[in-house]
A and B are shown apart, each in its own frame.
Chain A
């Protein structure tokens, strides 16, 4: 089955700096890669996603890049703010009907220092 690994497990950045979180996946059939942000006491919130036919996607301060050959994808957050502090999860799935389950990485705790 799919295995998603996320590194590092914690990341601390200064407010205004950029943060990059990397994930690798094992199943070459995976074609959908979402990123979730989870704040304390809340469920994961979808912040951006990318499909395998696209190499990069941006949404304001957030961008995701995908390298299918190397089987890794990354989340880039620019101009970080204290409210970006949270746990971030990457995930992968094969968007194919009955096999659509998400496999998650272990998560990374991002701390933005004011």
Chain B
């Protein structure tokens, strides 16, 4: 089976812009979670989607949003980018509620 894919792999944006990241889960997996990874804060949970519904949300501002499509693919959006949003954004898919398999991530740099 193909693994979790994320696009794009690298992205450079400027402050105030918005960005959309995409994630395709492992075939058959219906749950998709998003995490932000930074050197200072480590891996932090953003949100989880299951069957197109957001099932859980972390402690991030409303500028961070996501959605899931009927084919389980997911997107996350960050509006009004700030310098502190520079991070590796990781998507993980799961066949059930706990075992999660991560993609390679999207490296976002905000200038």
Contact = CB atoms under 8 A, between A and B. Distances in A.
Interface of A: 32, 34, 36, 41-46, 49, 89, 91, 93, 95-107
B97 A96 contact: yes
A101 B45 CA distance: 7
A105 B41 CA distance: 10
Given A102-B45, A104-B42, A104-B43, A97 B102 contact: no
Q: Which residue among B94, B98, B104 has the maximum number of chain A CB atoms within 10 Å of its CB?
A: B98
Q: Which 3 residue pairs are nearest across A and B when measured between Cβ atoms?
A: A43-B102, A104-B43, A100-B97
Contacts of B58: 101
Contact of A46 (B45, B48, B100): B100
A100 B98 contact: yes
B: interface residue count bin = 20 to 34
Contacts of B42: 89, 104-107
Contacts of A93: 98
A43 B98 contact: no
Contacts of A102: 33, 35, 43, 45, 92, 98, 100
A105 B35 CA distance: 13
Contacts of B94: 100
22 contacts: A34-B98, A41-B104, A43-B102, A43-B103, A43-B105, A44-B102, A45-B102, A46-B100, A91-B43, A93-B98, A95-B97, A95-B98, A96-B97, A97-B55, A97-B97, A98-B56, A99-B56, A100-B94, A101-B33, A101-B45, A102-B45, A102-B100
A46 B101 contact: yes
B31 to A, nearest CB: 8
Nearest to B45: A101
A100 B95 CA distance: 12
B90 interface: yes
